[in-house]
Chain A
């Protein structure tokens, strides 16, 4: 079975985002960019399924600026087999990404598509569900456990009250939550090896998909800042404050 894993290049999660002075977005000039952490978990899960013998080939896809190639190389170094880069000059929204992924899924015929549940830049949490809608496949979102058996995948999902398990017919879509696995680091030899793994470059137009944005960002501002309050010296003072607030009697 082939697995398709879409990955996104985003501002590294350790970097504090800075709003541009002109209010058009986040300043991404000269800052560290990395693979979206949830996508790393998706790549890792695909590799583990390959190590178990369930999966035969892992194809990673990224849609975005040409530099997304770095993110694909990281996925190849982790253990993916080949990569597809779909370049776009403009920002592609989740709906457009899902349409491109649908076109790629039509060509590649994967048994499973594993995606991060959300990207930590736009925090949309949409692409996997949208791809599931367009393909008509089942969706196991926010997965903490994935088990492939025969023609089905059983997905344990992190839900508000705890965990929920669903059984999906293959092919299916899985989106990863934080505790599905701990992604591996690519070793130096594997990073070298990844440089010679196949990477195909395409454009959105190659797929005949209209990815023009539906949303216009009118402005981006910093949220209202909380100011630091006071420090209390000891528990008695804290108890006094809590009583004054009516929280404690």
Chain B
């Protein structure tokens, strides 16, 4: 089977979620990567070094900048004439593009797969991960998004794929990129952080969040996350949100502070290796999944913990 993977990149490097997608693609067959964008030669070279990749297709065109789905999808549909499956990482960009490709190919997409059982059968979470469905696709071609935490990352070195330019990109003329506000942080990205410190509603306001959660995270070299409640209340921006509809994370250690543990939040972090919970309510559901729990007042505990580490 020939598998095409859409590469998420920043022009120069390949994002981590793509590496997990390459691993999933490798379970299906020969892996070809598509690096689309404007000024992407650096990313294409990085992609060619990824272990297990046969070929890298490079589409360099102004119409493909900013990964606008309206422009990227038709190009992928053309390329799919030579491929049997199309895979994307389940990132916001991947989720934006893949269903547009699927519908143009008249294929029912399989979202967020956790495993490849066979060439047409996959497992995926439903109901915020409260159930795992095994689904079989009857479509001749497959369109799949891949949950990054469910697959090992392919090695970024060791591959020697051929690089081949592709043309045919066009501006569909229905959408334009205006701008973005991408938070710059020295801290590790949530989806690739080894340790995450997350705060919830119990922090009461943004000042407390910054004053308590961030120093602890910095002490541990951790990424910073938040529950939906903390994001909705405006303590931190949306890109901090861990949960069913936010980011799905599975770090070595997840520290949940003042987070009660609604099923929607647990859906985003319950595959973490070790979960540590700090909460004043000893009956909080978070303690049902935590490996280590500490019941008490976070306003006393967190500064003491940061101090003693």
Within 8 A of A (CB), among B133-181: 133-139, 172-181
* Cβ proximity bits A8-30 to B, threshold 8 Å, 1 near / 0 not: 00010100110100000010000
Q: Are B99 and A217 in contact (CB under 8 A)?
A: no
Contacts of A159 in B (CB 8 A): 92-93, 180, 182, 239
> Which residue of A is nearest B112, CB measured?
A123
Assess the B178–A154 pair: CB atoms within 8 A: yes
Contacts of A236 in B (CB 8 A): 308
- The docked-state distance in angstroms from the alpha carbon of A223 to that of B103 is 30
The answer to whether B73 has its CB under 8 Å from any CB of chain A is yes
Q: How far is the CB of B242 from chain A (nearest CB, A)?
A: 12
CB neighbours (8 Å) of B291 from chain A are 229-230
B5 interface residue (CB < 8 Å to A): no
Q: Specify which chain B residues have a CB less than 8 angstroms from the CB of A62 in the assembled complex.
A: none
B125 within 8 Å of A (CB atoms): yes
Interface of B is mostly: mixed
Measured in the bound complex, the distance between the Cα atoms of B220 and A93 in whole Å is: 44
Structural contact, A129 and B289, CB atoms closer than 8 A: no
* B253 x A231 contact (CB < 8 A): no
Q: What total of A-B pairs shows CB separation below 8 Å?
A: 255
Q: Measured between alpha carbons, how far is A159 from B238 in the docked complex, in Å?
A: 8
Which residue from A117, A220, A235, A242 sits with its C-beta under 8 Å from B132? A220
Cβ contacts under 8 Å, B287 to chain A: 228, 231
Interface residues of A in 92-124 (CB under 8 A from B): 93-95, 98, 117-118, 120-124
Let me know if A215 and B135 touch, CB within 8 A.
yes
Q: Does B130 contact A (CB under 8 A)?
A: yes
Contacts of B173 in A (CB 8 A): 169
Q: Which of A95, A133, A178 has a CB less than 8 Å from the CB of B228?
A: A178
Residues of chain A within 8 A of B137, CB atoms compared: 214-215
Give A213 to B69 CA distance when docked, in angstroms.
25
Give a binary string over B171-201; 1 marks a CB under 8 Å from any A CB, 0 the rest: 0111111111111000000010001000000
Contact (A167, B109) CB under 8 Å given A129-B103, A158-B92, A220-B132: no
Question: Within the complex, what minimum Cβ distance (angstroms) separates A240 from chain B?
Answer: 10
Interface stretch (choices A68-76, A78-86, A138-146, A187-195): A138-146
* Cβ of B205 to closest chain A Cβ, rounded Å: 17
Chain A residues within 8 Å of B93, by CB: 159-160
List residues 141-161 of chain A with CB under 8 A from any CB of chain B: 141-142, 144, 154, 157-161
CA distance A128 to B98 in the complex (A): 12
Asked if B134 contacts A219 (CB within 8 A), the reply is: yes
Interface pair A16/B175, CB less than 8 Å apart: no
Known: A121-B127, A215-B136, A247-B253. A238 touches B220 (CB 8 A): no
| Given A132-B100, A166-B68, CB of A120 within 8 Å of CB of B131 | no
Indicate if A125 sits at the interface (CB-CB under 8 A). yes
A163 touches B180 (CB 8 A): yes
**For the complex, what is the distance from the CA of A78 to the CA of B127, rounded to whole Å?**
26
- For chain B, residues 181 to 231, give those with C-beta under 8 angstroms from any C-beta of chain A: 181-183, 191, 195, 219-220, 228, 231
A-B contact pairs, 18 of them (CB 8 A): A13-B264, A123-B126, A124-B109, A129-B98, A130-B102, A160-B239, A162-B181, A163-B181, A163-B238, A164-B177, A166-B178, A167-B178, A214-B138, A218-B134, A226-B270, A229-B291, A239-B309, A241-B292
Sample of 15 more A-B contacts, CB < 8 Å, known A95-B106, A235-B304: A17-B130, A118-B245, A126-B98, A133-B101, A139-B69, A166-B68, A169-B173, A172-B174, A214-B139, A217-B135, A219-B134, A220-B131, A221-B134, A228-B287, A229-B290
Query: Shortest 6 CB-CB distances between A and B: which pairs?
Result: A229-B291, A129-B99, A130-B103, A133-B103, A214-B108, A138-B174
